[in-house]
Amino acid sequence: MTMTVDTDPTAPARYPVVLITGFLGSGKTTLLAQLLRHPGMNNTAVIVNEFGEIGLDHMLVETPDEEMVLLNSGCLCCSIRGDLVNTLSQLLLRRHAGEIPAFDRVVVETTGLADPAPILHTVLTDEAVSPHFLLDSVITVVDAVNGGGQLDRHFESVKQAAVADRIVLSKTDLATRETIDPLLGRLAKLNPGADILEVTQGVVEPDTLLNFGTDGRRSRQLDMTDWLRESGQAAEQSNDHHAQHDHEHDGHHGAEPHAHHNHDADIRTFSVVRETPVEPAGLELWLNMLSGFRGPNLLRVKGLLNVAGDPVVVHAVQHLFHDPIALSKWPSDDRRSRIVFITHKLERDEVEKTLQALDLSTDKSADTPADSPFDTDTYEKFVKAMQSFGGSEKSS
């Protein structure tokens, strides 16, 4: 059921939501505490799983009720009760009713073992939430000392890094360059589109991490061409890295199990380029097919497509594809469709076989049955594209 609220002239049309994620002990709480000290973070609602995990006792001013606390920065902190939909809905209703201080933005801190995808899905698609909230950015905190080992042993940390818009490398004062530099290179290969910042004691300017007050998707469209170019170059380097890495670790038998290749060998970062324009109907079916058949294997997808001559941005995290966004103009003279994929147990050739579905059109030839939504020849292409996934779906 859709949530309704009274009109509040002081409220933004939609509240930007920032997701802070990262593995256990990575420094999410330290980063959040430092951010909340900044004057620019006033009027922020913070959602955490448990008050005990956030460690903000020194910032408390008073307790409005058992579910919420006020911080001396002017921010409001609450814990998730039930699910995120209920928490966001109650925050918004009580803000408009004047029962809690006004807030203009929301920060959600996840637990260290959380998969960010369900939270993103809630913000972007839930009928009670999406009309009132928009996703600003995903910030993933990685421990400079222990991050490499966590990426080796825990696939959750790999997913957290892969979906990030910005990666914060924490505890850099406790690590050497011999540890930091390889980790930076690994993160850049894992998610070539993310900005990576080295941070000590969580000290960073909020403007460096956040796009408060703007539609984060729209602001990131401005550098789409650079993102695709840099990501495409990093994708090719990443594939070379994987091949070399697999060879180097054949027969590794140390006393301490090293699972680096177990995760990294299954991660692929690659780009595909299409010279001819895409049909709108074909794009819709292709996106539905990818999300339905191999959604769990798509850690991150981002692209700029030529759809019947117009520039359209596509963006996905696992099974969740955002609604395609039409740009007002092309960012460059390049009219090719370019898509960058970060996948788990999904190879480039498997994706490339599906691209023929993009040719599907609602235009019909004379011999096409009246009750068929597509031309017979193009429908056969679609079936073949679907069959490329048939019998080969791999576990995520």
Contacts of 125 (CB under 8 A, 6+ apart): 320
pLDDT of residue 309: 93
Collapsing DSSP to helix, strand or coil, 131 comes out as coil
Cβ contact 66:90 at 8 Å: no
The whole-number pLDDT of residue 51 equals 47
Q: Which amino acid is at 122?
A: T
Q: Tell me the per-residue pLDDT of 103-127, one tens digit each, with 9 for 90 and over.
A: 888 998 887 877 888 888 788 778 8
Count of C-beta atoms within a 10 Å radius of residue 224: 20
Residue 114 phi/psi, 5-degree rounding, is -75, 140
List beta partners, residue 108.
19, 47
Give the residue, 333 or 11, on which the prediction is more confident: 333
- The pLDDT-based confidence of 60 (bands split at 50, 70, 90) is very low
Which helix (H) or strand (E) segment holds residue 197: the answer is strand 195-198
Domain range 15-220, its CATH number among 1.10.540.10, 3.40.190.10, 3.30.2130.10, 3.40.50.300: 3.40.50.300
Please list the residues that pair with 109 across neighbouring strands: 20
What does the pLDDT read at residue 54? 45
Show Cβ contacts of residue 280 under 8 Å, excluding neighbours closer than 6 positions. 307, 308
Average pLDDT, the chain: 75
Please report the pLDDT score of residue 375 as a whole number: 61
354, pLDDT greater than 60: yes
Nearest-angstrom CA–CA distance, 219 and 217: 6
Give the tens place of pLDDT for each residue, 144-172.
999 999 998 888 898 899 888 899 999 99
Condensed to tens digits (0 to 9), the pLDDT of residues 272-302 reads 889 999 988 888 888 888 888 888 888 888 8
Helical spans, DSSP H, in 273-359: 280-294, 348-352
Name the residue among 108, 56, 41 with its Cα closest to residue 80.
108
Measured CA to CA, the distance from residue 290 to residue 297 in angstroms comes to 9
Strand, helix or coil for residue 377 = helix
Question: How far out from the chain centre does Cα 139 lie?
Answer: 9
Rounded to two decimals, the pTM is 0.71
The percent of residues in the chain predicted with pLDDT above 70, rounded, is 67
Buried/exposed code over 78-107 (b: 16+ C-beta within 10 A; e: otherwise): bbbeeebeebbbbbbebbbeeebbebbbbb
| Separation of alpha carbons 4 and 100, rounded Å | 18
Q: How confident is the model over 255-262, as a mean pLDDT?
A: 41
Q: Which long-range contacts (CB under 8 A, 24 or more apart) does 317-323 make?
A: 317/116, 317/117, 317/120, 317/163, 318/117, 318/163, 319/117, 319/121, 319/291, 319/292, 319/295, 320/117, 320/120, 320/121, 320/124, 320/125, 320/291, 320/295, 321/287, 321/290, 321/291, 322/124, 322/217
Tens of pLDDT, residues 93-106: 888 888 888 888 89
CA gap 15, 103 in Å, rounded: 9
Phi-psi region for residue 82, left (φ > 0), alpha (ψ -120 to 50) or beta?
left
Tens-digit pLDDT profile for residues 13-33 = 789 899 999 988 888 888 888
If you write DSSP's letter for every residue of 141-179 in order, what string do you get?
A: EEETTTHHHHHHH-HHHHHHHHT-SEEEEE-GGGS-HHH
β-pairing, 60-65 vs 105-109, is unpaired
What is the maximum alpha-carbon separation in the chain?
Answer: 75
Domain ranges of the chain: 15-220, 224-387
Output the CA–CA distances (angstroms, integers) from residue 19 to 4, 36, 79, 135, 138, in the order listed. 24, 14, 14, 8, 5
Mean pLDDT value across residues 377-388: 67
DSSP 295: G
The fold adopted by the segment(s) 224-387 is: Hypothetical Protein Yjia; Chain: A;domain 2 (3.30.1220)
